[in-house]
Chains A and B, each alone.
Chain A
Amino acid sequence: MTATLLNVENLSVRFPVKRRWGQSTWLYAVDDVSFEVKRGETLSIVGESGSGKTTAALGVARLVPNSAGHVVLGGEDFLKLEGEDLRRARAKIQMIFQDPYSSLNPRLRAEAIVREPMDSIGTAPVEDRPARVAELFEQVGLRPEQMKLFPHQFSGGQRQRIGIARALSTNPELIICDEAVSALDVAVQAQILNLLRRLQRDLGLTYLFISHDLGVVQHMSDHIAVMYMGKIVEYADRLSLFNDPKHPYTKALLSAVPSVDRARKVERMLIPGDPPDPLNPPKGCRFASRCPLVEDACRAAQPPLDPVGNDHRVACIKAS
């Protein structure tokens, strides 16, 4: 059994929202979420817009205020760290971002971008840093003569490679990929996905992979958590989730994806309407308003995330 690297317990992230007449209220983008990531594996968080998947990732990385709960990495609670301790601990969790155009500082040369985390956290002796940058460039498939160029001189895929090199520079224990390939053209997307998997094999990396693309998630993940309106509704290993989904939302999500595999012409499970107002979430199951299986008990209380099998948990009272 592989050891657990990251343990997230009861993570909540809320945002203040101004309403009319100067009143303000809290929007719970992530509401009491727990999961763990095993060393050397990939956990994907999948969901649609407004599900809180990106906020959950930013919460884990301590990049949003107003987070509560525990994010335990190597025996240390990341959410309890402050000041210098936090800054130094940031070396352990790095991020790869979605937009290859806004994720690199346009005023810095590629080598300076890759070097920045090493300089500010001080993870390598100063004299070793240039060699480390060169090594990182090679690892992500960029040529050494490109180190002096500015971001706008690279293509989208190459920029994403720079972003990956920057994330690797501090030898992090966990890398969060936030929609890391969704802004790329399909051919370039394949190049980056293969690169991420090769790096994982070679360097033993652990990924927290955030995506809305179920095909990509299916290809990249070892475990998957499905989120809906700030809650995890299903958590399972790769084969269980894609071959035997239990939650009606997961089923609807999977059946909505168009595929070239004709054998996969499963009957489409259409879910009507849009998610409810996140400022005023329903008391019971949050999917109740769109669920085809809904009954009174669903609206009464929130279903807990209960195990339904080995490594498979579902938050639905109708799952069994």
Chain B
Amino acid sequence: MTDPLLKIENLRIELKLRSGPIPVIDDLSLELNAGETLSFVGESGCGKSMTALAIMGLLPEKVGSIGGGRILFQGNDMARMNPAELRAIRGNEISMIFQEPMTSLNPVYTVGEQIAEVLRRHKGMGQADAWKRATELMDAVRIPNAKARVGDYPHQMSGGQRQRVMIAIALACAPKILIADEPTTALDVTVQAQIFDLLRDLGRDTGTATILITHDMGAVAEMADRMVVMYAGRKAEEGPVEPVISHPRHPYTKGLISCVPHLLAELTEERPDLTEVPGIVPSLGSFGADACLFASRCYMADAQCRNARPPEVAFGPQTSACWKADIV
């Protein structure tokens, strides 16, 4: 077996508060293989984006820092790299697209200049070559009439087109990993479908591995090969998408799936109430506790859940950090 492309081992990210360091990511381990799509799922405040920023080496300084563990990219520990080494990887080998296509492009440069800039910086291309490649990339992300639109400014494009430009910038250097942080949350559903198709096709053609961060189980089912469900900075469940969705082994995963009204193949008159996951994600103050942090919202919780952190239990390729995983 070959080594995974990206391997995170026992990662701990700490937030410095006045009361002391708080682990916002607590003992997280996962692997990403070349060419696969891995999805991070969870509510806001569960550490999905924080993990992505840590992989990019973009943790906000003074706020968060790596408190332990390793982030191995092709066998090299990114947690110990200096800023210059990180810069060489960032945007080149690992790149990222964000939620807000309105603010992630610089409004004073044309989109062509912004794509070409990345090529010049990382690939050392000349002005003319970079511009030509930028046009090709615009075409690759299916912007109609790319030759003419490469000279457009961001405000001249629709939200969907801007997100395509962001994808073109992210893929300019043929990265090994693309991190997509809620890339379609700000877009309409028909545009989202276009972007998902594009990401899937590009992933297949270029062999880029994708980390898709989302809160939408439907998107996970449609896009990802494997998924990691995160809760309060910890991994709740991990596994291939199909078995996790059809038989979740963690009550949080189960709740996330059943609390959303999904479109069904055949709708009936019947309309039961949605399953509620009561309460909200716990406050940061309780993050380090030796307990299952989901216990306060869990219908199965008992004394054991409140007094000891559950270990991960494996069910074939699926793992769940729940004391009652076998009866979920």
Contact = CB atoms under 8 A, between A and B. Distances in A.
Given A48-B191, A187-B259, 6 more contacts: A155-B280, A187-B277, A193-B274, A215-B262, A256-B190, A260-B262
B177 to A, nearest CB: 22
Nearest to B184: A258
B194 A191 contact: no
A243 B267 contact: yes
B316 to A, nearest CB: 19
> 3 shortest A-B CB distances, which residue pairs?
A219-B261, A258-B218, A190-B259
A256 B274 contact: no
Taking residues whose C-beta sits less than 8 angstroms from the other chain, chain B's interface range is: 35 or more
Contacts of A256: 189-190, 192-193
B279 to A, nearest CB: 8
B218 to A, nearest CB: 4
30 contacts: A48-B191, A185-B43, A186-B256, A187-B297, A194-B274, A194-B276, A197-B273, A212-B188, A214-B189, A214-B263, A215-B218, A215-B262, A219-B271, A219-B274, A256-B189, A257-B189, A257-B218, A258-B192, A258-B193, A258-B216, A258-B218, A258-B222, A259-B262, A260-B245, A261-B263, A261-B264, A261-B265, A264-B264, A270-B193, A273-B144
Most buried by A among B161, B189, B191, B275: B189
Contact of A270 (B194, B259, B262, B269): B194
B260 interface: yes
Interface in A184-227: 185-191, 193-194, 197-198, 212, 214-216, 218-220
Interface in A264-304: 264, 266, 268, 270-274
A238 interface: yes
Contact of A242 (B219, B267, B276): B267
Contact of A257 (B223, B263, B267): B263
B197 interface: yes
Interface of B: 43-44, 144, 158, 160-161, 188-194, 196-197, 215-219, 221-223, 245, 255-257, 259-269, 271, 273-278, 280-281, 297
Contact of A274 (B44, B160, B262, B264): B160
Interface of A: 48-49, 155, 157, 185-191, 193-194, 197-198, 212, 214-216, 218-220, 238-239, 242-243, 252-264, 266, 268, 270-274
A252 B280 CA distance: 35
A190 B189 contact: no
Given A190-B259, A191-B276, A274-B158, A264 B265 contact: yes
Most buried by A among B44, B219, B262, B281: B262
Contact of A271 (B144, B190, B266, B268): B190
A237 to B, nearest CB: 11
A216 B215 contact: no
B259 A259 contact: no
Contact of A243 (B257, B266, B275): B266
Contacts, number: 126
A186 B215 contact: yes
A238 B215 CA distance: 26
Contacts of A271: 190
B261 A193 contact: yes
Contacts of A274: 158, 160-161, 191
Contacts of B273: 194, 197-198
Contacts of B259: 186-187, 189-190
Contacts of B190: 48, 252-253, 256, 271
A48 B255 CA distance: 28
Nearest to B190: A256
Nearest to B160: A274
Contacts of A214: 189, 263
B167 to A, nearest CB: 16
A260 B257 contact: yes
A257 B261 CA distance: 12
Nearest to B219: A258
B265 A263 contact: yes
Contact of A191 (B265, B268, B278): B278
A72 B43 CA distance: 42
A186 B144 CA distance: 35
A220 B161 CA distance: 32
A186 B218 CA distance: 12
Contacts of B217: 260
A190 B260 contact: yes
Contacts of B191: 48, 274
